[in-house]
Structure 1
Amino acid sequence: MNYDIFSRTAPAMPKPGKGTEIVKLLLSQVSKGMQEPILPMTLPALAAHVSGAEFKYPDNKYYELCGQMGHLIGPSGIGKDELHDLVEAIMRSFRDHDEEEYKKLENWQHVKNTKGDNKDKPDRPEVAIWFPPIDVTSAAFLQNALGLEKLGGRTQYLNLPEVEMVEKMCGGRKNVSVMVRNIFDRKRVGALRATAEGVTGNPLIRANLTFSSVPEVARLFYKRDMTNGFFARIPFVYKARGERKGKIPRKGEYDEAFLQKLDEYLLRLDNCKGRFVVKPLNKVADQLAEEMASLADLADDDVLFELSHRSIISAWKKAATLWILNDQTWTRSIGEFMVWFCYYDLWSKVKVFGDMFKGGEASEDDSQKRGPKNMLDSLPNSFNEAQLEAIRLEFGKSKEGTKHQLSSWKNRGFIEYSSETGLYTKTEKYLKMSDVRGKM
C-alpha cells in the first residue's frame, strides 16, 4: 500500500514525471497550497472533451469517460474559487460553442414572437449546451441531455460553486441520489419526458459534474445517503485549513502562452475516438483492488471496502484521461497518479465522513476518531489475541470477529503466529509497507 488513508495528513501528490507533463501545466498558475486539491477536480472538465471513446475495464465491459464527478471540501476562504478559474480556461471552446447555440434559441424566440397566434410558428431548433449555467433547472438539464444525444452524444459539464445547487439541477433533494447514480452509470432517466414543445424522450445521461462546499454543509448534504450508492459514486477532495500564515497566496494568470499550450492537449481529447484496451491501466486497477481489500481487512470495515470499488473506477477514468493527454501512451507516472487519486478520495471520505459510515453524529473534527482505523497499527509488534480483542472493542467492533481478522491478516502476510510463545508478530513485509506509508 502506497498511502495511509488513516493518517491525519492527506496523501502527498506524486511529482509529475514523464507522461504527466500536463499536470505541470495545469498547476502552473494555481497557488502552491491548492495544487493537490485542484488537480483531481480538473479531470472531469478535461474528460468532458472526450466524445466517442470507450475503454475496457477489468470487468470486460467498455465505459465512456463521462460520469466523472468531484466534490471539493474545505473551510471558507481556503481557495476553492481557484478551481473556477482553471475550469474556465479548460472550457473555453465549450463556451464558444454554447454562444452559437444560444443565438439559435434567441433567433427562434424572436421569429416565434413575431408570428403572433399564427399556426405556422417555427419548431424549436435542436440545441445542445455543452457547459450549462450553474442555475440550470432539472427540466433544462434533462432536455439538454436529450439534445446532446440527438446531436451526437456529447457530454455536458457543470461546475457548481455550492453543492446545494445539485438539488435544483435534479429537481429537488429527493431526486439527487437517483440522478447522480444515473450520471455515474451513464443510464437513461428511466421514464419518458415531455417538454412544453411536445418533445418526448428518455435521454442517456452523459454528464460530468463538480461542486464545492465547506465540511459542515457536506456532512449535512450526504447524511441520509451514506449507504445507497450515491455517496460512494462521488470522489472527494478535502483540504484542511492548515497553519495560520500571514501571506496572501500567489496565483498566476491564464495568459495566451498558457492557453496555447493547453489547447494542444485539449485537441488530443477532442480527437480521441474508438474503443481502447490499455493493459497497464487495468493492471493498476487490479493492484488497487487487492490493496483496498487489505485496507478493509486492517480496519475490518465492510463499508470502506464497498466505497473503494467506485473509488477505483473514478481513478481509472482519470488515468485514462491522462493517457489520452499523453498522446495515448502509458507511463509509470500516469499509474502513480491513478493510485494517488484513489487513495486521496478514500482519505477524504474517512477524514470528513468517517464517523458517519455507521450513522455517527460527531463533528467533522471527531469524524476520523470514530471512523475506520488500521487496528494492526494500534498493536505492538508482537501481541496476543486478547490485545486485538481489546482494540476491537475500543473501536466499536465485536469480539466475535477477532479470530477471523487474525486469519485475514495471516493470509495477507501481515502477521505470523508462533505456537511456542502464543504471540502474533508483524511481518517484515508489513513493517516495510508501514515505513513506506510513513514517508509519503
Structure 2
Amino acid sequence: MAITNEYLKGVLADVEKRNANEPEFIQAVTEVLETLQPVAEARPDLVEAGVFDRIVEPERQIIFRVPWVDDNGKVQVNRGFRVQFNSAIGPYKGGLRLHPSVYIGIIKFLGFEQIFKNSLTTLPMGGGKGGSDFDPKGKSDGEVMRFCQSFMTELSKHIGADTDVPAGDIGTGAREIGFMFGQYKRLRDEFTGVLTGKGLTYGGSLARTQATGYGLCYFTDEMLKANGKSFKGATVAISGSGNVAIYATEKATELGAKVVTVSDSNGYVYDPDGIDLDVVKQIKEVERGRIKEYVGRTSHKNATYTEGCKGVWTVKCDIALPCATQNEIDGESAKALAANGCYCVSEGANMPSTPDAIEVYFANKMLYGPAKAANAGGVATSGLEMSQNSERLSWTFEEVDGKLKGIMQNIFASCDSAAKEFGMEGNYMAGANIAGFLKVAEAMKAQGVC
C-alpha cells in the first residue's frame, strides 16, 4: 500500500525531514498513515484540526545522562530516554526498554505504536515509552541496582501516577522494576502506582507476568474463530523465550496447539514433540541462561538447536507468533512461512514484521494480527494494575485473566468492525490503526490545539 492522499504525503514528508536518521519511527508512521487514508478523506474536520500533523509529533522528548559505578569501581555512563508521545486520553503509559540497541528512534517508534495500542484497550491511557542503551545481560545484581537507581533519579522528575506510568519491556523485568520503584519511593517519599509490573508484595497485579502472551493467544483465537479456524491441532512457531514467548507457548498449548520452536538472540530450538515449557522456564526465568541449553536438558530426544535466529521461520507451521523483537520477519522469512503452509501470523513483539513481510502476508491471504492489537494484553493488564493501586485492592488471578480475555476479545471486534466500516474487511492492521486512531483523534479535537 502506498500513500496517495496529498495531505498525508505532506505529513509523512515532514516526519521524514524531522526524523531523518530514525528508520524505525518512519516505518511505524508510514504504516499507520497508509491505513488512515480513508479516514482523512471521510473526516475533513480532523484534517482541519491538525490532528494528523500533531499525532506524529511527540508532546515531549526527554534525554538524560545515567552515570553509575560498576563492580570494579569504574564509572560507566549510559543514556536514558523518555518520550511522552500523547496524553489525549490519559496519562502517558508505556514500558522501559534496556538494551544496547536503544536510541531515540527506537523509543519514538515504540511510543507512537503505544498511542494506538493503549487506545484499543479502551482504558484511559496515553502513549509513551522509555529506556536506555544499558545492557543488564551479564551484570551483577549490584550493578543493575546502581544503574536503576541512577536512571530513576532523573526519570522521577518527569513521571507520576497521574502523569506518566512506565512499565517493563525488553531487559526490564521484576528485578529492574523493583530497584526503580524503591528509588522512586526513596526520592519522593510516597507509595503510589507510578510503575506497573511491580512485585506482588508491593502493589503488583496477578496475571501481569502472563498477560502479553496470554493476551496474544486470546486475540489470535478470536481472529482464527472469525475465519473458521482454531488453535486446536495446529502447529505453532514462536520466537523469543522471554515472558511473552513463554506464556504464549503456555496458553497456545492450553488451547490445543503444539508449539515447536523458541529462540533467543543466539539461536533457536526446534522440538517436533512440542516445547518442554518447564525446561524453558527453568533456563530463562530462574537461571537467566541461554536457550541452547534446552537440548541437553529436555527428555525430548528429537529436539535440535540451531545457531542464528532467522531459521526459526523456515520450520513448517500453521501459525507463527513472533515474540522477540522488531523487524525479525523480513520478506524472505515471510515467503518461507507461506511456502510451508503458515496461514496466520500474529505479533507478540512490537513491529516484528518488515513492510515487505506484511506485503507477503496479504499477497498470500494469511491472517495477520498486528502488534498494536495482538500484544496489547500487557499494557491492558498494566492498566488493571493501575486501577487496583488506585483502589488499594488486589484482584484474584481469575478476575484479572477474565478481564484481560474480555479486553482482547473486544480489541479484535473493534479491529474487525473498523476494517469493515472503511471497506477493508479482513485487514486487521488497518482496522487496528483506524479504531485506535479515532478515539484519540476525537479527544485531541475536543481539547483544541495543544
Instruction: State the TM-score, normalized to the length of structure 1.
Output: 0.22
RCO comparison, higher one (Cα < 8 Å, 6+) = 1
Q: Please state which structure has a larger fraction of its residues in strand.
A: 2
